[in-house]
Structure 1
Amino acid sequence: MTSPTSQQQLYRFLEDRFLCAQACTECARACAVRASLVDPDGTERQERVRRLGIMCAEVCDATCRVLCEENRTDEDGIRVRVEWCRSVCLECAHAFDAYPGAESAADACRACADACAEFRETLV
């Protein structure tokens, strides 16, 4: 029988995992929308931001799938993926900061990075 403490830890782990996956989904959506608004024929800087937005959306989507699947991925593998997602989200947020009107996408990226960091802390 599972002890109440370990059961609470399991619930917290699953809740954190879900919150991270949910934040990844929101970030992916915001990045995809924002990337579509950046002129693909614009400056090199605009193209970099567009590419970062697309990459961030893809990384968040992949991370969300890993977190939502009932698989046997080891915690080290999950930790690496979540950290990768966190770092890409922060990089993307910094890039969006330079564009007026991109505040909501930058906020979504930061929220996802925070959720990833919090979830990573639950992994032993």
Structure 2
Amino acid sequence: MTTTTQQELFRFLEDRFACAQACTECARACALRASFDERDGTEDREHLRRRGIMCAEVCDATCRVLSQQNQVDESVIRVQVEWCRQACLEGAHSFDRHPGAEEAAAACRACARACDAFLATLG
């Protein structure tokens, strides 16, 4: 194994771990935010609650894919991470419109950035 290949492997593993960690943080923040938004009958609040739940579920699933020790097809990883990135961007956009949801929006953006970094590592 050449030095460049070792460096690429380390970068890949670091970015994969960073992405999984960001997904975990985002899932936590979104689930917490969704639990705050009680069903009050308003369409806007229900949309925000559902967005939080969906983002949390997508991030959790992405973290599981990234954490698997066995070999997962790169195309499966790419699709999952791209889906996560999109869900996080949509979540951040939704949370931006609601006071008190800043932490969830920031976690979503951080996760989207980590997904971008990992996708760049995939090439």
The TM tier, using the shorter chain, reads over 0.9
TM-score by length of 2: 0.97
> Partner residue of 2:97?
98
TM-score by length of 1: 0.96
Aligned equivalents of 1:106, 1:59: Cα separation in 2? 15
Q: Post-superposition shift, 1:70? A: 1.1
> Partner residue of 1:18?
17
Aligned equivalents of 2:22, 2:41: Cα separation in 1? 29
Aligned equivalents of 1:58, 1:29: Cα separation in 2? 10
Q: Which runs of 5+ in 1 are unaligned?
A: none
Q: Post-superposition shift, 1:39? A: 2.0
Aligned equivalents of 1:57, 1:42: Cα separation in 2? 22
Partner secondary structure for residue 39 of structure 1: coil
Percent identity, aligned pairs only, is 68
1:28-58 per-residue CA deviation (whole Å, 9 max, x = no partner) reads 0000000011121231111011011001001
Which aligned runs of 4 or more in structure 1 are off by greater than 6 angstroms?
A: none
1:78 aligns with 2:111: no
Q: Which amino acid in structure 2 is aligned with residue 96 of structure 1?
A: F
Aligned residue pairs, count: 123
Q: Which amino acid in structure 2 is aligned with residue 87 of structure 1?
A: Q
Q: Which amino acid in structure 1 is aligned with residue 2 of structure 2?
A: S
> Partner residue of 2:59?
60
Aligned equivalents of 1:13, 1:44: Cα separation in 2? 42
Q: Which runs of 5+ in 2 are unaligned?
A: none
